[in-house]
Structure 1
């Protein structure tokens, strides 16, 4: 994955993690952008730190997306006390038989 794609994905994940969806004033977004500008390279120069920065960005991206997925799963499946048989069947994807009267 290229550095630009990692940067865009990181900012996207930060936007999802933000309570209001805006990262304009976010210190994390400013820091990430500053680090990417610091390790910016051209065609004439090759920087080992740039590759390390991309790897670190991918690591943070994995962490942020995994944390978001964990939170979504936790809220969906966390026990809220006793569930009805219908709720449990819906949770695992089964349909209850209907009683014809």
Structure 2
């Protein structure tokens, strides 16, 4: 159950990071996550429903939110900004230009 708590915390952290509303009490998404965590706690032990259902669902959402943030970061870094110089392009992909012997 300890791993489930860690997963729910990481999910709440990711939701807070992408949400405009940082307050836990006012954020409907966080309230829903906490309600579902409490509901699955009972069902996984009492009714023997899918024991790892909460864990798998939360891990999927955490992966999705982290991937969305990574995608935004990559897009911001490599998005087209019009024409770039040869030096800027080489720096972007990690190459060095040979020096001109003039």
TM-score normalised by L of structure 1: 0.79
CA RMSD of aligned residues (A): 2.4
Mind listing any 5+ residue stretches in structure 2 that lack a counterpart?
none
- For residues 1-101 of structure 1, what are the structure 2 equivalents within 5 Å? 2-19=3-20, 22-24=22-24, 25-41=26-42, 45=46, 47-99=48-100
Q: Which has the higher helix share?
A: 2
Mind listing any 5+ residue stretches in structure 1 that lack a counterpart?
none
Number of aligned residues: 98
State the alpha-carbon separation in 2 of the partners of residues 47 and 57 from structure 1.
18
State the alpha-carbon separation in 2 of the partners of residues 16 and 37 from structure 1.
22
Shift of 1:71: 0.9
